[in-house]
């Protein structure tokens, strides 16, 4: 049997935060709630995990512990102790880490890993053990089927096709109100999420009467995307849509700037909302649209962004970060209602209404449906501009300004 260290050693953050904050002896004696997670600290998923998921776990645990701990129904407070493992972006490691968290570490709760693949890998383990599964960064079109299988799983970011349909409805709005043309260049990365977006987007564009001049896919990890931008520039569309991943989002935007390719709407998907995008492109980020977006008018979001920036040292991304944090607030409020009782927590999360940084969250069939899908860089913030009709959506700035000097 492996020799095991005291929990504090592994749960450095939770432990230290707890010890530092809980000055009063009486409070320090409350038994901590052990919350474990397996996250990709190394490997190809590390970028996403470290942007969207891990900082929010740390920020949340710290915020809760500074307030004295998780509030229970009887008014008592228990601090959070985090237990962390690295899954090295491998499904098998994630499965074993969660097995270890549940059976060896006796974690009271388990938080999800980053990404669709790893969330699905740990899904059966959490389901069998009866742990609530906040599958935030798991976005696929088969969510309704997953919910049937795993009633303990909750999906906060919706289905991929919803993202593409929301984009098209925002484009239709621009066409009616601002005279946007109908020509589109459509590209996507060959990955589950990219292709699901592409299929839904293509169908929605055709239904809405847009004309697709170019329809291309490129493999995940492509190094040189200049031919794609060159082809798009030759087609000279009014709208450029790339269902891309973070590295290619940066590469496509950079190539478009170099080639001075200036469509009236320039959309790149995952990664556009990352603070890194704005750091890299500065004022050139202005007017670029992408997946995600938040209601920057909301004081709760402003406060969240400020705390994230202060504690983690950088602002959160403008798509899944606040949603991840909101999912933790949902968990926190559910614990306040029913305590650390896992079957009761699952029922409470499924049926409750919760006030979070992204507004009121109420799940339907374990899914969050109404949400911000289209964001745009406006004045250095990634603002929600679609789909129309969702609270907090602001007007889109049209057309996107031409690229300036780098």
Q: Which of 123, 246, 293, 322 binds another protein (CB under 8 A)?
A: 123
d(CA 373, CA 297): 17
Assigned token pair, 110: 């388990």
Site for another protein in 211-270 (CB under 8 A): 217, 219-220
Q: How far is the CB of 17 from another protein (least distance, A)?
A: 17
Binding to another protein by residue 149, rule CB under 8 A?
yes
Could you list the beta-strand ranges (E) of 225-278.
239-243, 265-268
Helix (H, G, I), strand (E, B) or coil at 352: coil
Q: How far is the CB of 321 from another protein (least distance, A)?
A: 22
Q: How far is the CB of 117 from another protein (least distance, A)?
A: 5
DSSP classification of residue 186: E
Binding to another protein by residue 191, rule CB under 8 A?
yes
Binding to another protein by residue 46, rule CB under 8 A?
no
Binding to another protein by residue 195, rule CB under 8 A?
yes
Compute φ and ψ for 266, nearest 5 degrees. Answer: -120, 110
What kind and span of H or E run contains 343? helix 342-351
Helices (H), 22-159: 25-28, 46-48, 54-66, 91-103, 116-129, 143-149
Q: How far is the CB of 270 from another protein (least distance, A)?
A: 15
Closer of 4 and 178 to another protein (Cβ)? 4
Q: How far is the CB of 99 from another protein (least distance, A)?
A: 4
Binding to another protein by residue 196, rule CB under 8 A?
yes
Token pair 């049997």 is found at 1
Q: Which of 117, 203, 259, 340 binds another protein (CB under 8 A)?
A: 117
Site for another protein in 59-88 (CB under 8 A): 84-86, 88
Q: How far is the CB of 187 from another protein (least distance, A)?
A: 13
The whole-angstrom distance between residue 103's C-alpha and the CA centroid of its chain comes to: 28
Binding to another protein by residue 96, rule CB under 8 A?
yes
Closer of 109 and 122 to another protein (Cβ)? 122
The whole-angstrom distance between residue 374's C-alpha and the CA centroid of its chain comes to: 13
Quick check: 72 and 335 in contact, CB under 8 A?
yes
For another protein, how many residues bind (rule: CB under 8 A)?
45
Beta bridge partners of 361: 354
Binding to another protein by residue 370, rule CB under 8 A?
no
Q: How far is the CB of 367 from another protein (least distance, A)?
A: 17
Give a three-class secondary structure readout of 298-316.
Answer: CHHHHHHHHHHHHHHCCCC
Q: How far is the CB of 159 from another protein (least distance, A)?
A: 13
Helix axes 160-178, 192-207, angle to 10 degrees: 40
For 161, residues 6+ apart whose C-beta sits below 8 A from its C-beta are 141, 196, 197, 199, 200
Binding to another protein by residue 5, rule CB under 8 A?
yes
Quick check: 158 and 358 in contact, CB under 8 A?
no
CA distances to 109, 147, 296, 365 from 352, in Å: 19, 17, 25, 12
Binding to another protein by residue 151, rule CB under 8 A?
no
* Stretch binding another protein (CB under 8 A), from 24-32, 119-127, 169-177, 234-242: 119-127
Residues that bind another protein (CB under 8 A): 2-5, 10, 41-42, 44, 84-86, 88, 90-93, 95-97, 99-100, 102-104, 116-117, 120-121, 123-125, 128-129, 140, 142, 149, 190-192, 195-196, 199, 217, 219-220
């Amino acid at each position: 049997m492996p020799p095991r260290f005291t929990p504090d050693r592994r749960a450095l953050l939770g432990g230290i935060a707890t010890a530092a904050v809980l000055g009063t002896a009486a409070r320090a004696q409350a038994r901590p709630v052990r919350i474990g997670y397996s996250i990709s600290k190394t490997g190809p998923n590390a970028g996403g995990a470290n942007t969207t998921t891990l900082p929010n776990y740390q920020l949340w645990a710290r915020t809760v512990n500074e307030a004295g701990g998780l509030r229970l129904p009887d008014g008592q407070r228990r601090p959070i102790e985090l237990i962390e493992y690295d899954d090295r972006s491998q499904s098998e490691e994630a499965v074993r880490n969660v097995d270890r968290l549940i059976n060896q570490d006796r974690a009271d709760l388990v938080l999800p890993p980053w990404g669709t693949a790893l969330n699905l890998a740990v899904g059966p383990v959490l389901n069998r053990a009866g742990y609530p599964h906040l599958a935030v960064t798991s976005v696929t079109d088969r969510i309704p089927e997953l919910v049937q299988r795993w009633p303990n799983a909750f999906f906060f970011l919706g289905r991929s096709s919803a993202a593409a349909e929301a984009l098209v409805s925002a484009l239709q709005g621009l066409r009616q109100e601002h005279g946007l043309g109908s020509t589109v260049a459509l590209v996507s990365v060959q990955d589950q999420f990219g292709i699901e977006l592409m299929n839904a987007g293509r169908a929605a564009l055709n239904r809405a009467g847009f004309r697709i001049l170019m329809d291309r896919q490129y493999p995940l990890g492509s190094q040189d995307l200049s031919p794609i931008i060159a082809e798009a520039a030759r087609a000279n569309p009014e709208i450029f849509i790339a269902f891309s991943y973070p590295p290619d989002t940066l590469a496509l935007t950079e190539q478009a700037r170099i080639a001075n390719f200036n469509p009236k709407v320039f959309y790149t998907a995952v990664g556009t909302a990352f603070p890194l995008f704005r750091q890299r492109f500065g004022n050139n980020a202005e007017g670029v649209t992408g997946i995600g977006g938040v209601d920057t008018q909301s004081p709760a979001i402003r406060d969240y962004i400020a705390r994230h920036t202060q504690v983690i040292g950088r602002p959160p991304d403008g798509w899944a970060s606040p949603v991840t944090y909101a999912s933790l607030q949902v968990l926190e409020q559910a614990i306040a209602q029913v305590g650390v009782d896992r079957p009761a927590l699952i029922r409470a999360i499924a049926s409750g209404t919760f006030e979070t940084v992204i507004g009121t969250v109420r799940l339907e069939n374990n899914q969050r449906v109404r949400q911000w899908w289209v964001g745009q860089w406006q004045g250095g913030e990634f603002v929600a501009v679609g789909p129309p009709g969702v609270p907090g959506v602001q007007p889109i700035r049209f057309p996107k300004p031409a690229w300036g000097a780098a």
